[in-house]
Structure 1
Amino acid sequence: MMIRKKGHLANGLLHILLTVFGFIWIYPFIWMIFSSLKTNQEYITSGLKLFPESMQWMNYVRAWKVGHFSDYFINSVIVTVSTVVIVTLLCVLTGYALGRVNFPGRKLLIFIFSATMFIPKGYTIIPVYLIVKQLGLLNTMPGVILAESSGAHVLFILLFMAYFHGLPKELEESGEMDGGGFFRIFWQIMLPLSKPIIATTVIMQFIWTWNSFFVPLVFTLNKPELRTLAVGMFSFAGEHTIDWSGMAAGASISLVPVILVFIAFQKYFIEGISGSVKG
């Protein structure tokens, strides 16, 4: 009985400790939300104080209209959705080939793919820039999308490869007995089974692309109207002053879609990760 009480006490203390650490972890986000409702003067002088003296809802109106966040939001949606579709399609095809087809040089190719994970994205921006420029897509929306979807995306490829590799051979054999070819088996049997990994790829790539700053900045320098939300934060920084409360409002707006997407698909995200590990 005493052991059980001690166990309950330990669990209670652990939950309290985790709650405190969780609050500390999310406090900067909460502070940003409340700061978006302050005046610039109060933003600077209030320190870590949360609640504003009066709610400045016009900060959001200023961010949306004056800060051109309405245009940046549309640009972010176009770039993010297009990039997610391209990356998911390329990764599922590559992962299926590496996971189910035993071709010469397969292990070497997997090793090369895995090695590219350690190359910082900033190191590859110059060749990507030159390729986009030679294609005549510089300072265009397709150019930004192409630059964002470039790269090996090794993590997603490995997730698909592990998942497809773990599927039983009998699935392909049954499809072949029904007269299905390689592509038909992939499209009608294998692809529907990989929905958890597809959902994982969509969620993670959506978050990365939506919050991407460096690539959209480089490829929209001469076309401010093509900026995404992350790059659009620059509109609040003037030559001598910075609209801090407007920037906080803009940051709050840009985080809403990411939070909604993750909340809606977190179940599939967990299933995808656990399924690939089991595979």
Structure 2
Amino acid sequence: MTRLRRPSPGQVVTVVLLAVLGGLWVYPFAWLVSASLKSSPEIFGKGLDLMPDEPAWENYARAWTEVGFATYFVNTTIITLGTVLLVVVRSALAGYVLGRYDFIGKKLLVGLFLVTFFLPEGYSIIPVTQLTDQLRLLNTHAGVILGLGAGGQIASTLLYAGYFRRLPKELEETARLDGAGPFTVFFRVMLPLAWPITATVVILTFLYAWNVYLLPLVFTLSDPGLRTLAVGMTVFVGERGTDWSGMAAAAVISLVPVIAIFVVLQRKFVDSIAGAVKQ
């Protein structure tokens, strides 16, 4: 019989510390779920206690139907999926050009990309809004998608550029010998090979578009029916007070798809980064 090896004191301390840190990390979400099942006075009256006196499931029904979060959920889904598709296509195309071709002003262009990468979103919201208004897309889903996905997307573009730069040129030459044109080479050969970067861009863009607040707020001020989940949180704040229990329930509804995406795609996300590093 093999004897079980006793953990060393250092290992025990490490496990205990990790368990404590894990509990501290999970506790805010657990408190949010608990608050969504309490009344507003109970939230503040019970402090850090997670157990409600009687679960108030009607908070979720009120947030979903009465406040209109069902509409906000549909809006957010449409905008997020459209933004992800737009960002992947345009970032991959721009990254392919930067990574595979040499042209005059390339280094200057990359430098400008890096400069704009550090600009806060608020600096560009006015020109983006004016341009979208001139295109007559200000109060539409397409306008929000263009506002979120047609910007610089510097990080995604540079990720693609770095990946495409490392691929051997023989891949393109072989495809051209078979009669493939530039777009066929890109969409049938190069883009499928860049799946590690595509997976990373999809996940990061999804999280960004699902949770972004400022641009959808500005674009939907005159049409509340186009609000996203993040913007819809403001309906719980009124002149006479704040519906904290309804807001907590709405926040849980907003977080469920994000958590589901993370649980389903976490392995692909890790594999995509590992594949990108290997390249």
TM above 0.5: yes
Preserved contact between residue 32 and residue 248 of structure 1 (Cα < 8 Å) = yes
| Per-residue Cα deviation, 1:136-162 (whole angstroms, up to 9, x for no partner) | 222222222221223111111111111
For the structure 1 residues 98 and 7, does the alpha-carbon distance in structure 2 shift closer, same or farther, using more than 3 Å as the test? Answer: farther
Report the counterpart of residue 255 of structure 2 in structure 1: 255
The ranges of structure 1 where at least 4 consecutive aligned residues each deviate by more than 6 angstroms after the TM superposition are none
Report the counterpart of residue 127 of structure 1 in structure 2: 127
Letter in 2 for 1:188: R
Report the counterpart of residue 223 of structure 1 in structure 2: 223
For the structure 1 residues 188 and 38, does the alpha-carbon distance in structure 2 shift closer, same or farther, using more than 3 Å as the test? Answer: same
Structure 2 distance, partners of 1:67, 1:273, is: 40
| Per-residue Cα deviation, 1:202-254 (whole angstroms, up to 9, x for no partner) | 11111111111111111111111110111111111111111100100000000
Report the counterpart of residue 277 of structure 2 in structure 1: 277
TM-score normalized by the length of structure 1: 0.93
- Unaligned residue ranges in structure 1 (runs of 5+): none
Letter in 1 for 2:247: M
Letter in 2 for 1:151: G
- Unaligned residue ranges in structure 2 (runs of 5+): none
Report the counterpart of residue 52 of structure 1 in structure 2: 52
Structure 2 distance, partners of 1:102, 1:77, is: 38
Preserved contact between residue 86 and residue 150 of structure 2 (Cα < 8 Å) = no
For the structure 1 residues 128 and 54, does the alpha-carbon distance in structure 2 shift closer, same or farther, using more than 3 Å as the test? Answer: same
Q: Secondary structure at the match of 1:19?
A: helix
Report the counterpart of residue 38 of structure 2 in structure 1: 38
Letter in 2 for 1:20: V
Report the counterpart of residue 103 of structure 1 in structure 2: 103
For the structure 1 residues 30 and 69, does the alpha-carbon distance in structure 2 shift closer, same or farther, using more than 3 Å as the test? Answer: same
More moved, 92-101 vs 165-174 = 165-174
Structure 1 distance, partners of 2:66, 2:197, is: 40
TM-score normalized by the length of structure 2: 0.93
Report the counterpart of residue 186 of structure 1 in structure 2: 186
Preserved contact between residue 43 and residue 245 of structure 2 (Cα < 8 Å) = yes
Letter in 1 for 2:243: D
Indicate the RMSD between aligned Cα atoms, in angstroms.
1.7
Report the counterpart of residue 233 of structure 1 in structure 2: 233
Structure 1 distance, partners of 2:188, 2:9, is: 53
Structure 1 distance, partners of 2:262, 2:66, is: 29
For the structure 1 residues 12 and 167, does the alpha-carbon distance in structure 2 shift closer, same or farther, using more than 3 Å as the test? Answer: farther
Report the counterpart of residue 141 of structure 1 in structure 2: 141
Structure 1 distance, partners of 2:148, 2:98, is: 23
Identity of aligned residues (%): 48
Preserved contact between residue 63 and residue 69 of structure 1 (Cα < 8 Å) = yes
- Cα distance, 1:191 vs structure 2: 1.0
- Cα distance, 1:169 vs structure 2: 2.2
